[in-house]
Amino acid sequence: MSKARTLLGLVFLALGLWFLLAVFSSDEEPPAALQTFTSSAQCAECHAEVYDEWKASQHSISWTNPRVQALSNEFANQDCIDCHAPRPVFVTGIGERVLPRTARRPEGVDCISCHLLGDGHVAGTKTIPSAACSPVATLDLGRPDFCAGCHNQHKTVDQWRESDWPDRDQDCFTCHMAFRDGDPNRGRSHVFPGGNDLAMLQRAVDLRARRDGDGVAVELENVGAGHAFPTDERSRRADIFWRPASAPDRTPDGKTTWRHLYRIRDPYRTETDMPSTLVHAGETLRVEIPEVPDEELVVALFYMREPYFDDPALPDPEAKGAVLVHTVRVAPR
C-alpha cells in the first residue's frame, strides 16, 4: 500500500517537473541543446557560403597576413594581438576595445569573434531556436559601433559619423556587407571589400584635371568612401603622379618616367613633422602642376598599402605593388 503511494507521489513529482520545464522553455531550446563552438570550421558545415566568403576576406588572414606578422615582429609585440586574434566582441562589450585571446589565433577575426554571445548563443538578425547554433536577433550586430571595437583606433567610425553618409542612410554595412545579389533575403556578403579591391578604390574618388594657364589644375573628390580616403591603417597612402602621354614607361636605364605631385596619407604618430593630408568624405583636394610641356599629359592616382618609396628622390609608383586607380588625359593647349 505504502509502495503504491510512493509510486503515485513520484508520478505527480515527474508531472510537475515536466510542466515546469514546458513553461520555462516554451520559446527557447533548453541550454543542454546548445552546441559549444571551439572553431569556425564547425560553422562551415552548415554555412558553407558564408565560410567561403569569410575565407576570401582580410578578416580570415588577420593573424597569418605576412605584413602583419612582419610589422608586429611575429606578434612579439603583444599589443598587436588584441584586434588580430580577438575574443568575441559581444563578450568584451560593444563600443569597448577588444581583448586578445589565447586559443586558435591563426583563425584571426573569425565567426566566433563576431557572432558568439556571452551565453553561448550566436548573434544573428533573427531568433531561430530550432537551428543548431541557436541564433538570437541582436540589433547591435548591425550597427557601426560593432565595427568600432577594432576599426576606430584610427577614427574610421568617427570619420563616418562626421560625414553626411549617416543622413543618407549609408553605413558600414551598405558599402562593405552588401546583400548577396542585391537581395535582402539572401543575407549579407562576408567578403568585406576595402582598399584591397580595385572597384572599391575606383568608386571612392573622382580624379579630374584641366589646363589652367601654364599649368594643370588637378582635383580629387571623395565621392564614395564613407570616411576619409584612405582610412584606418596609417600605412595606407595614395599618390598623384603625372607625365607626358608620349613618355615611355621606363627610361633606358630602367627609371620611372612618372613625376610625383602629391601624397595623401595620415602619418604615424612619430612622424611629427608631417601633416595629415587625408581627403575626408565629401571633400575635394585641389593641387596645381605649375608648369607643364604643351603636349598631351596623363595624370594618375596610385594607391599603396605601404607608406614609403624605396627611393624618395625618385618615387616609383609601379614598385612595391601599388595599384593604378584612375588616369585622366589632359589635351595640349
Positions in 135-164 near ligand HEC (CB under 6 A): 135, 141-142, 144, 146-147, 149-151, 153, 156-157, 160
Instruction: Name the amino acid, one letter, at 218.
Output: V
Minimum Å distance from CB 217 to ligand HEC?
A: 23
Question: What is residue 251's three-state secondary structure?
Answer: coil
The interface mask with ligand HEC, positions 252-291, x = CB under 6 A, is ----------------------------------------
The rounded distance, in Å, linking the Cα atoms of 330 and 240 is: 14
> 131: part of which helix (H) or strand (E)?
none
CB-side neighbour CA atoms (13 Å) of 257: 14
Minimum Å distance from CB 161 to ligand HEC?
A: 7
CA angle centred on 226, ends 223 and 229, rounded to 5°: 70
- Tell me if 90 contacts ligand HEC by CB under 6 A: no
Minimum Å distance from CB 288 to ligand HEC?
A: 24
- Nearer of residues 93 and 332 to ligand HEC, judged by Cβ: 93
The rounded distance, in Å, linking the Cα atoms of 290 and 261 is: 10
Whether the CB-CB separation of 316 and 309 falls below 8 Å is answered with: yes
Query: Of the candidates 91, 145, 305, 327, which one interacts with ligand HEC according to CB under 6 A?
Result: 305
Question: What is residue 209's three-state secondary structure?
Answer: strand
Q: Which residues in the 92-121 window bind ligand HEC by CB under 6 A? A: 97-98, 109-115
Whether the CB-CB separation of 281 and 171 falls below 8 Å is answered with: no
Residue with cell 582598399: 195
Q: Which residues in the 188-207 window bind ligand HEC by CB under 6 A? A: 188, 190, 192, 194-196, 200-201, 203-204
Query: Of the candidates 34, 56, 61, 298, which one interacts with ligand HEC according to CB under 6 A?
Result: 61
Minimum Å distance from CB 261 to ligand HEC?
A: 19
